[in-house]
Amino acid sequence: MATVRLVPPRFPRLRKPVRVQFDWPALRRYATRGAVLAAAVPVAAAATVMGLERFRRHQYPLDEPFPTAPPSSTEVEDTTATLYTYGADLYAGMLEAIRGAQREIFLETYIWKDDEVGRQFKQALVEASARGVSVYVVYDGFANLVISRRFYDLPGVHVLRFPAMRPGLLMLDVRRSGRDHRKILVVDDETAFVGGYNIGSLYATQWRDTHLRLTGPSAWELRNAFVDFWNRWRGPHLPVLQDVGSPLWLPGLRAARNAPSELVFPIRGIYLDAMDRACSHIYITQAYFIPDEDIQAGLLAAAARGVDVRVLVPERSNHVVADWLARGHYSTLLRGGVRIFLYQGAMIHAKTATIDGRWTTVGTANIDRLSLTGNYEINLEVVDNGLAAQLEDAFRMDQSNSRELTLAEWQHRHPLSKVAERLMSPLRPLL
């Protein structure tokens, strides 16, 4: 009988585990250098175009004449809405209201320059206070850093300086970093103004902007916005303002207010809702147009279903970096059927839109991240055929001073322009 030998299986010889040594300090240095380089490239590109634009602006200033229209009014329910498209006309109306005030004045502005127009407003407010009118003023400290704080010493006037430095700025904390970008004037609870105009001589004649005046019960919309902001940010040295409430309910005329401290941003929502409803046409005028994905998708969807979508922006604005970031969207918009018009020779600063001859918004918010999800802003949303017709007339007036950018022209722009757009694109979330 054969003998069977059992041979134990052979297993491979186990090696000792290899220990990988990481030079953690070196890796951190490389990561830091990479992050610094990634941030430095778009910043350097932005600095370069800013330097070139400074030279270009010296050679070709934005001071050419542009078409204007006199103030025009229409009735919205029990309120008269007056549209202003020229700064000198607007300032005349605002100063007239201040000088005729009998009880109360609320003024809120982003920029208030110490120049001829700025001093006219200062004098009118001080004189109103001297005759017994209660005057309350809010201005943004950061936007007016170049102006001496002594200019804002207004005898007898309650002044709230929105702080120049916000604690959340470095940490990108939206609740504690937004600027006060609103422009509001309310007189005697009966007359109220809102729109894109700051206060200064430059804006009186050399910038094309849009403001709206409400005369009647709907002025409460802007009064309430001022009172809420004042009571939220006033210090102990400033009085509390009374919230009077309103018996008037007009769903067709409402103020949408962005409030970063409460993470409330309704202006973006009214744009998205209105674009979804569009059936005929969308006319948008913007100083700085850097749409987020949802707003861009809304415009493209409207164009795809046959809506005539037109966006009017300055060919050159006072913020060249914003111009370059906006251009990063042009290819997608033009391919999708959105028509882009470039305003010529002057700065257009309006923040307006009108849709289908029915819906209109006029206010302070740009279509960019800073306005729609960053700053304190206010826009009136009005559903009224008469006001929409006025805004369409204003759009056609501005279009007459614009040139249309075609897809063919845009595709043949200089290769260096394409490189600059790509290099600066990481800055879009900041603007």
Phi, psi of 176 (to 5 degrees): -125, 30
Mean pLDDT, residues 157-177: 79
What CATH number does the domain containing 88 carry?
A: 3.30.870.10
Residue 226: pLDDT band by 50, 70, 90 thresholds? very high
In a domain, 33, yes or no: no
The strand pair at 281-285 and 308-314 is best described as: parallel
For residues 272 and 266, what is the distance between their CA atoms, to the nearest angstrom? 10
Residue range 103-138, pLDDT digits in tens? 999 999 999 999 999 999 999 999 999 999 999 999
Residue range 51-62, pLDDT digits in tens? 655 656 666 678
In a domain, 116, yes or no: yes
- Reply yes or no on whether the pLDDT at 158 is more than 70: yes
Question: What pLDDT score was predicted for residue 16?
Answer: 62
- 288 Cβ neighbours under 8 A, 6+ residues apart: 313, 317, 319, 322, 326, 366, 367, 368, 371, 431
- 80 Cβ neighbours under 8 A, 6+ residues apart: 73, 74, 213, 214, 215, 216
Residue 414: pLDDT band by 50, 70, 90 thresholds? confident
- 92 Cβ neighbours under 8 A, 6+ residues apart: none
* Full domain range(s) for residue 275: 72-430
Question: What pLDDT score was predicted for residue 417?
Answer: 73
What is the dihedral sign for C-alpha 283, 208, 149, 96?
negative
Residue range 277-305, pLDDT digits in tens? 999 999 999 999 999 999 999 999 999 99
- Reply yes or no on whether the pLDDT at 15 is more than 70: no
For the packed helices 24-59 and 415-424, what is the interaxial angle rounded to 10 degrees?
130
Residue range 359-381, pLDDT digits in tens? 999 999 999 998 999 999 999 99
Q: How many structural domains is the chain composed of?
A: 1
For residues 430 and 426, what is the distance between their CA atoms, to the nearest angstrom? 8
In a domain, 2, yes or no: no
DSSP state of 42: H
**Contact between residue 325 and residue 290 where contact means Cβ atoms under 8 Å apart:** yes
In a domain, 9, yes or no: no
In a domain, 63, yes or no: no
In a domain, 59, yes or no: no
Kindly state the percentage of the chain with pLDDT values over 70: 82
Write out the two tokens for 430. Answer: 């900041």
For residues 361 and 383, what is the distance between their CA atoms, to the nearest angstrom? 9
C-alpha separations of 76 from 195, 217, 228 in Å: 17, 11, 25
Kindly state the percentage of the chain with pLDDT values over 90: 72
For residues 363 and 376, what is the distance between their CA atoms, to the nearest angstrom? 12
In a domain, 124, yes or no: yes
Indicate the helix (H) or strand (E) that contains 395: helix 385-399
Residue 176: pLDDT band by 50, 70, 90 thresholds? confident
Q: Bridge partners of 314? A: 343
In a domain, 186, yes or no: yes
Question: What pLDDT score was predicted for residue 43?
Answer: 60
Helix (H, G, I), strand (E, B) or coil at 287: coil
Question: What pLDDT score was predicted for residue 348?
Answer: 98
Indicate the helix (H) or strand (E) that contains 293: helix 293-304
